A and B are shown apart, each in its own frame.
Chain A
Amino acid sequence: MHHKTIAELSQDLHAKKISSVELTQHFLERIKRFDEKLNSFITITEDAALQAAKAADQKLAQGQGGPLAGIPIAHKDIFCTDGIKTTCGSRMLDNFIAPYDATVVTAMKKAGTVMVGKTNMDEFAMGSSNETSYYGTVKNPWNVDYVPGGSSGGSAAAVAAALVPGATGTDTGGSIRQPAGLCNISGLKPTYGRVSRYGMIAFASSLDQGGPLAKTAEDVAMLLNAMAGFDPKDSTSVDQPVPDYTATLNDSIKGIRIGLPKEYFSEGLNNDVAKVIETAVKEYEKLGAVIQEISLPNTALSVPVYYVIAPAECSSNLARYDGVRYGYRCKDPVDLEDLYKRSRSEGFGSEVKRRIMIGTYVLSAGYYDAYYLKAQKVRRLIRDDFTEAFKKVDVILSPTTPTPAFKIGEKTSDPISMYLSDLYTIAAPLAGLPGISIPAGFVNKLPVGMQLIGNLFGEAKLLNIAHRYQTVTDWHKHMPEAF
């Protein structure tokens, strides 16, 4: 049952071959049985889930309920869930019971999904390996000595190990796509403004986007249908109609122009990964796509630019965590300074502190022009690279990461080496573009993801192109043996 896709489970539910309660119980069982090994969940909401499942069954019995009715899902613990612990992977919010639902959570509830729990993540979404969580490292289901990627490592691992058929995540520099790539699942970062950020705890406001993770592009399309949409509570939300992303999945991609950025296929890219991608590219040629080399000249600068803008925005976004109105408060503060400094120093982990400090520095008097302003200017150049590229091609293809998953602890002492592993995913958020990662093969039994980047609001085309690949390959059907 757990090997089935959301599309298949949806059919079964609507055909009454199975009930949502049974389905939910099945996944809750699997979570209880396997999550010890993975540590992909922070909170499991068993009672609420069964209640929601019952309600979904009632709807289904009346012949009602949309495609997602009764489907169990998990939310990354970055989405506020009313009455339920929402930690953002941090000690700072270990005691935070969110007093409201994020818009995405409301939307998913409305679509009839059944939330089974909140998934583990890098602290405040800062990380590429899910090793910075207060709640411990998440393991890669393909090899538990390896990282699942981050920051949506919990969601990716849970879906990859079939503990849940679908999950939400967030992506700021690659945090959906990279873990999807390292765990052999499909994950999409939508166009900036496509999915509401209201209730999605902020890391870097001009980059963050919520998106779906699931086994297939089709499943991702189903989840995106529910997640996407205009939200008047989010000033950066775009008022554009949401197409049915599943309706165009099977469109022919003959003549689709695929661009391969030469800067992504240079040193730094693991040879074996390169080979996997080359093979994938050939599949696309067989499907009738036209491949050409393109250039994104400012690629190398995307990592430094990101590591100015994201920390700057986060240093400000995280200033609200001060022990006054909610969250962690240090014991017996002697004065105001002590309250702030001890609560924050005890509540935040090192990666978060590092980024807050970098962010504080690059915004500070005398440095703003040289760092933040400069980064915003280079950001425009990076964006313009894509604008140019999309004049020649319809979609950009690359490996999702330069290497497969690395070992737990391998990069934790060298922040910069960790940052560089985001090279291929980090530019799309800077340009606001949508991107998806889908399974493309294996190297040393570890998954290799292929990334597709589309133009603004090009999710439908992206999912179509991803789905067509999944009709002629079966990498996405592989499941880790241990689960």
Chain B
Amino acid sequence: MSLTPEQVKKIGHLARLNLSENDMALYTPQLSRILDFIAQMNQIDTSQVEPLAHPLDISQRLRTDEVTEPNLRDKYQSIAPQVEAGLYLVPKVIEEA
């Protein structure tokens, strides 16, 4: 499975990674080879097989609806890159959501 540079660039963008010319030269063939390697899976027919998302056959446990977490803003924000007035600061968010 040979990935084209466009595909690799798209993947990089989806993953929010910068890929320099050198990166492209290094990663493109590596990723392509890995995908070839992965393609071995196609040797086996799984049309009648259910996916296994979890090794154990258990279901989700439920938590009682109660407030258990105290306000630890100061502690959490002491390790933040940039905060002001209790808010995390980031470059301007242009689109209105």
Q: What CA separation (Å) do A121 and B79 show in the bound complex?
A: 23
| Neighbour of B79 across the interface among A96, A239, A348, CB < 8 A | A96
Contact with A along B48-77 (1 / 0, CB 8 A): 011111111010110100000000100110
Q: Interface centre among B53, B61, B75, by most A CB within 10 Å?
A: B61
B92 to chain A, nearest CB (A): 7
The interface size of chain B toward A, counting residues with CB under 8 Å, comes to 53
B96 to chain A, nearest CB (A): 14
B11 at interface (Cβ–Cβ under 8 A)? yes
Residues in B neighbouring A371, C-beta threshold 8 A: 38, 41
Residues in B neighbouring A361, C-beta threshold 8 A: 3, 7, 11, 31, 35
* Chain A interface residues toward B at CB < 8 A: 95-97, 99, 192-193, 206, 232, 235-236, 238-239, 298, 300-301, 303-305, 307-308, 315, 319, 322-327, 329, 333-342, 344-345, 348, 350, 353-354, 356-358, 360-362, 364, 371, 373-381, 383, 415-416, 419, 430-433, 456
Q: What CA separation (Å) do A314 and B95 show in the bound complex?
A: 28
Residues in B neighbouring A236, C-beta threshold 8 A: 54, 56
Given contacts A232-B63, A324-B81, A416-B37, contact A376 B93 (CB under 8 A): no
Majority secondary structure, A binding face: helix
* Chain B interface residues toward A at CB < 8 A: 3, 7-8, 11-12, 14-19, 26-27, 30-31, 33-35, 37-44, 46, 49-56, 58, 60-61, 63, 72, 75-76, 78-82, 88, 90-94
Given contacts A97-B79, A206-B55, contact A378 B46 (CB under 8 A): yes
Q: What CA separation (Å) do A62 and B91 show in the bound complex?
A: 57
- Contact A374–B55 (Cβ < 8 Å): no
Taking A336-B91, A339-B91 as given, write out 15 further A-B residue pairs in contact, using a Cβ cutoff of 8 Å, ordered by the A residue number. Answer: A99-B75, A206-B54, A301-B41, A326-B80, A336-B94, A339-B90, A341-B17, A344-B16, A354-B27, A354-B34, A357-B17, A364-B14, A379-B51, A380-B51, A416-B37
- Contact B41–A304 (Cβ < 8 Å): yes
Given contacts A335-B92, A336-B93, A373-B51, contact A416 B33 (CB under 8 A): yes
B56 to chain A, nearest CB (A): 6
A432 to chain B, nearest CB (A): 2
- Contact A383–B46 (Cβ < 8 Å): no
| Neighbour of A416 across the interface among B27, B34, B53, B61, CB < 8 A | B34
Q: What CA separation (Å) do A353 and B26 show in the bound complex?
A: 12
- Contact B17–A353 (Cβ < 8 Å): yes
Q: What CA separation (Å) do A378 and B45 show in the bound complex?
A: 9
B83 nearest in chain A by CB position: A325
A365 to chain B, nearest CB (A): 10
- Contact B41–A192 (Cβ < 8 Å): no
A235 to chain B, nearest CB (A): 6
Given contacts A232-B63, A361-B31, A377-B49, contact A383 B55 (CB under 8 A): yes
Q: What CA separation (Å) do A432 and B80 show in the bound complex?
A: 36
Closest 7 CB pairs of A and B: A432-B55, A376-B51, A380-B52, A377-B46, A329-B81, A340-B16, A345-B18
Q: Interface centre among B41, B43, B91, by most A CB within 10 Å?
A: B41
A140 to chain B, nearest CB (A): 26
Q: What CA separation (Å) do A349 and B72 show in the bound complex?
A: 32
Given contacts A336-B90, A378-B44, contact A456 B12 (CB under 8 A): no
- Contact B16–A325 (Cβ < 8 Å): no
Residues in A neighbouring B91, C-beta threshold 8 A: 333-336, 338-339
Q: What CA separation (Å) do A456 and B34 show in the bound complex?
A: 31
Q: What CA separation (Å) do A481 and B43 show in the bound complex?
A: 48
Given contacts A326-B79, A329-B81, contact A358 B34 (CB under 8 A): yes
Q: Interface centre among B43, B79, B82, by most A CB within 10 Å?
A: B79
Q: What CA separation (Å) do A325 and B86 show in the bound complex?
A: 12
Given contacts A325-B88, A336-B91, A430-B55, contact A315 B60 (CB under 8 A): no
- Contact A307–B82 (Cβ < 8 Å): no
| Neighbour of B17 across the interface among A301, A356, A430, A432, CB < 8 A | A356
B58 nearest in chain A by CB position: A238
- Contact B43–A301 (Cβ < 8 Å): yes
Residues in A neighbouring B49, C-beta threshold 8 A: 377-378, 380-381
Q: What CA separation (Å) do A353 and B16 show in the bound complex?
A: 10
B34 nearest in chain A by CB position: A358
16 interchain pairs, CB-CB under 8 A = A97-B79, A99-B75, A193-B56, A235-B61, A307-B37, A325-B81, A327-B81, A336-B93, A341-B16, A342-B18, A348-B17, A353-B27, A361-B7, A377-B46, A378-B44, A415-B34
